[in-house]
Amino acid sequence: MLKTIIKKELLDNVFSYRFPLFSLICVLLIPLGMYVNQVSYAKRLRDYSEQMRLAGEAVSALKIQDVMAGTVAIKGFRPPARLSVFTQGFESTLPRFYEFTQDGFRPGESSGGDESIFSVQGKVDFVFLVQMLLSLIGLLFASDVIAGEKESGTLRAMLSNSLPRDKILIGKIAGGYLALWLPFIIAFLIGIIILIVGSFPFFGGDTPARILSVFLSVSLFMLIYFTIGTMVSSSSAKARTSVVAILLVWASLQLIIPKLSDMVARIVYPVRTNTEVSLEKSLLARSIDTETAKELGRQLDLVFGAAGPKAPEDENSPEQKKWNSVKTRIQQSARERKARQFGAIEETYQQQKRRQQNLAVNLSLISPSAAFARFIADICGTGELERTKYIEAVRAHQNALDNELFSKVDRTVMIRPNGETMLAFHAFPVDLKNLPKFSIASASLQDAFKENWRSLISLAFWLIAPFAVAYVRFIKYDVR
Amino acid sequence: MPDQKPILKAEDLSKRYEDGVLALDHLNLEVRGGEVYCLLGANGAGKTTTINLFLNFIPPTTGTCYINGIDVTRDPLEAKKYVSFVSENVMLYGNFTARQNLDFFAKLGGKANLSKEAYYQVMRRVSLQEKAFEQRVKNFSKGMRQKLGISIAIIKDAPAILLDEPTSGLDPKAAEEFLEILAELKKEGKAILMSTHDIFRAKDIADRVGIMKEGRLVMERTREELQYEDLVKIYIDYMKSEPLTV
């Protein structure tokens, strides 16, 4: 019996005018979206390879004198995410590289500058199409699943038979969903074929598993929206009322909640901008450096007298030994002070930011669309997880360079009480050919699932709750 | 002669809607196999409510409906195995052909794996044109849809058939053809309960006629009794009479 209803529902949709229209939209837009992003990915990959080559050459040409002069900035590049062909996520907003200096790291430009002028209207990628288009089509397909059949009278005809209502509901959801799913599968497969033809490294690493996860997530997302549509339809007496309600639901879940959650979080927990924080740190660093330079200058005069050290310096003289000890103590103290105060600024900033982001994320997860977008971006390596991994890698690389390179060069600035500025250098041996290489430990697929437990709960809720409501409504549905 | 065992039975059946309207007031009714019972009455008299109660589309306020001896409220799924339903506007899937519609509803009615020829035979029996068998029903006339509706009832082969104003809006020829099919089903022993406004055709086909007013069955006559009485006059007299006190 269930099979009969599923088949009927599927065929009824397939024979309707909207099915070829929807199929056409899917088959045109989904592969096109993938193709455009594949081209963009290939371009970014070429850029990345070229920049890596240039950076390699720059490191090869590096001399310790450059480091002593403080003019060296070593770049660490982030490779473009392979699965950005499905969703751009943070791909175009993340810096392409970071510059590492003695004073810390700073972000380079993002790839957003290369984007088309139409990006101002929102990036169109596979996930965007799914989120905006398939969700709406899923809802509209479901809009008349109950109310429409009531209006046409066929629901009465069905229920005049020995047929349990729960079977009708399940059959209708399954059949209607299949009608939605089949064009999507075809479009998705065409997109994958286009990617493979376009030399996309489909079979590398865990890519097939990730693509399968994308496919299953989209399938789940479509089922969620179809079930929400069924819930609305079973709560409406007329198909037209159902369509109006569905448009409101779509706008709320798709546009209002995700956008509003960020706005609310910004109002509730305002956070300074990154530039403000960097500026504060930079002012603090300058102030500590100046104080340290003055203290060193004062101590220099105390150790060597107003005439200062004689050149060339005698390493074994008692004054020199005393000076080395004093200098090390002052510099160590300055470093500790800087680290402590920088840490406090950064910690406060990160704490405020985390609080704001947590609120925004938790509010946005009310929408299945936001939950889906977050989850799928992490599967594709363009989401929050990737951003975190990137910045972790940057911090680790800065530490490695500090240990292996920057700490080997001792630049001492001294401002003597008479206002004279002195600069002293001392360099330890450094193996410039074997400096640490910048690399990002990509998040595994398992990490993406673990980190997105809230998104997965939201998606599960949006699958179960609308079905439960639709079930309760339909069991009591007045078919007259 | 009709069987003695009632296939359709309403016992003290009442329905009061949430808004307080009493749509059906203590109806008692029986339809036996091989019998056609026509319910006459103005709009809102309770005819369709009676059918809705038999189909368990709405629960009764009091009383019980039985189909083939099964309490409809208590075991609706079992009861519905023994009844077919044809409405005023036969509800069909416009994107399906006549045969596909028949196939779908036959399966719902428990008749799986019927051959294409079996469907064609039923459609021929109700005089549906051959060329329409594989045509989408969205372009069907009302007469064609009613024929297909009765085909669905025939193919289910249930002992009881409920018809809600099935000839309403049909041209005289189509209505006549429709009633001929009903007469055949009656001969096959089906218990037929039909609500209608068509007094003349009710007189022709019915074994018993009941007139409903304001939810009550106010009069009942057998075919024999109607040979000596003018049904039209009786009907109009009841309609003109004072409203009933509820």
Query: CA–CA separation, B239 vs B246, rounded Å?
Result: 16
Average of pLDDT values for A405-421?
Answer: 83
pLDDT at B103: 92
* Cα dist from A83 to A38, A126, A381, B31, whole Å: 9, 11, 7, 70
Question: Which among B77, B91, B107 is the nearest to A156, CB-wise?
Answer: B91
Query: CA–CA separation, A471 vs A385, rounded Å?
Result: 37
Q: Which residues on B lie below 8 Å from A157 (Cβ)? A: 85, 87, 90-92, 105, 152
- Cα-Cα-Cα-Cα torsion A428, A429, A434, A438, nearest 10 degrees, comes to 10
Query: CA–CA separation, A387 vs A395, rounded Å?
Result: 13
pLDDT at B204: 82
Query: Can you say whether residue B26 is alpha, beta or left, with left for phi > 0 and alpha for psi between -120 and 50 degrees?
Result: left
Tens of pLDDT, residue by residue over B24-62, are 889 899 999 889 999 988 888 888 999 999 999 989 999
Which of B:125-154 have CB within 8 Å of A? 136, 152
Q: Which residues on A lie below 8 Å from B162 (Cβ)? A: 160
Average pLDDT, chain A: 87
Query: CA–CA separation, B143 vs B78, rounded Å?
Result: 31
pLDDT at A376: 93
Query: CA–CA separation, A460 vs A341, rounded Å?
Result: 44
Q: Which amino acid is located at A75 in the chain? A: K
Tell me the two tokens of residue B2: 């009709």
Nearest residue of chain B to residue A168 (CA atoms): B108
Which domains can be identified in chain B, with CATH numbers? 6-88+161-240 (3.40.50.300)
pLDDT at A189: 94
pLDDT at B2 over 50: no
Helix and strand numbers, DSSP H then E, in chain A: 17, 5
Average of pLDDT values for A78-87?
Answer: 90
pLDDT at A244 over 50: yes
What does the buried/exposed string (b/e) look like for A430-444 if buried means 16 or more CB atoms within 10 Å of the residue's CB?
bebeebbebebebbe
* Count of A-B CB contacts under 8 Å: 69
Give the rounded percent of residues in chain A with a pLDDT score beyond 70: 96
* Cα dist from B117 to A11, A41, A245, B93, whole Å: 22, 59, 45, 21
Look up the ipTM and state it: 0.86
Tens of pLDDT, residue by residue over A125-140, are 888 888 888 899 899 8
pLDDT at A98 over 70: yes
pLDDT at B173: 78
Going by the DSSP 8-state scheme, the letter that residue A438 receives in this structure is P
Tell me the two tokens of residue A403: 């240990």
Average of pLDDT values for B96-120?
Answer: 89
Tens of pLDDT, residue by residue over A282-341, are 899 899 999 999 999 998 888 888 777 766 556 678 888 888 888 889 988 988 898 899
* Cα dist from B24 to A90, B58, B66, B186, whole Å: 66, 12, 16, 27
Please name which of B49, B67, B61 lies closest in space to residue B10, comparing C-alpha atoms. B67
Tens of pLDDT, residue by residue over A119-177, are 545 567 888 888 888 899 899 888 888 888 888 888 888 898 988 999 999 999 999 99
